[in-house]
Amino acid sequence: MKYALVTGGSRGIGRAVCIKLSQMGYHILVNYKANKAEAQRTLEMIEQQNGHATLLPFDVSRQEEVESVLSEWMGNNKEAYIEVLINNAGIRKDNLLVFMENEHWFDVINTNLHSFYYITRWLIKKMLLKKYGRIVNIVSLSGIKGLPGQVNYAAAKAGVIAATKSLAQEVGKKNVTVNAVAPGFIKTEMTKDMNEDELKRLIPLNRFGNIEEVAAVAGFLASPEASYVTGEVISVNGGLYT
């Protein structure tokens, strides 16, 4: 059985990625932070399609928790190796920098950027040993062009983009690819406070995107077919100029 870990798989884009990777034959490790009911729902959706999944809750922003859960899982599954990692879990806490509080800055950086380091460093060793791996980081339009009110979030996502490009160059020789997907406005809990009617006028395709449209690109980058694509950032944003 091939394993894929999707962080933030309980809802939104992460859930759609879990389902996509399950359809590709992976046993999905569905990570989430607190929302067990929604994570359970993702698991049921996978099982309804005859897929396999395990819930693996941990807070991606807490290094000790990440490492203890992953090492325990690996200890209990010595033969298994996680060949696909989707770093998807993320939060936004928007505020103009002038009003930003430490909590807004550190929570967003810890969850969106430090998580990449904690989890990827832990899983990449086995990918290098096995000479195969796929890492896909879900970043954002904000990390490419910057957005007012998102200095914290844009900095975190831009950090992950730079890390994607650097790591791709470190591990390419071992047949491990590292790419990023940069969504624009996608209909999830994260964007439910945004005015689609107003914002869609900025988007050439004239609408917010769906979670499946992001999962399709993440699924491709996680697939064997994407074997000659690495260090890339693919935008899924309806044509918003970046």
| Catalytic residue list | 153
Q: Which residues pair with 54 in a beta bridge?
A: 29
CB nearer to ligand NDP: pick between 27 and 33: 33
CB nearer to ligand NDP: pick between 91 and 229: 91
Smallest gap from Cβ 238 to ligand NDP, in A, equals 11
Smallest gap from Cβ 160 to ligand NDP, in A, equals 9
Q: Which residues here bind ligand NDP, judged by CB under 6 A?
A: 7-8, 10-14, 31-35, 38, 59-61, 88-91, 111, 138, 140, 183, 185-186, 188-191
Q: Which residue spans within 39-195 are E strands per DSSP?
A: 52-55, 82-87, 133-138, 176-183
CB nearer to ligand NDP: pick between 69 and 132: 69
* Residue 94: half-sphere exposure toward Cβ, Cα within 13 Å: 10
Residues whose CB is less than 8 angstroms from the CB of residue 186 and which lie 6 or more positions away in sequence, other chains included: 12, 13, 208, 209, 210, 211, 213, 214, 236
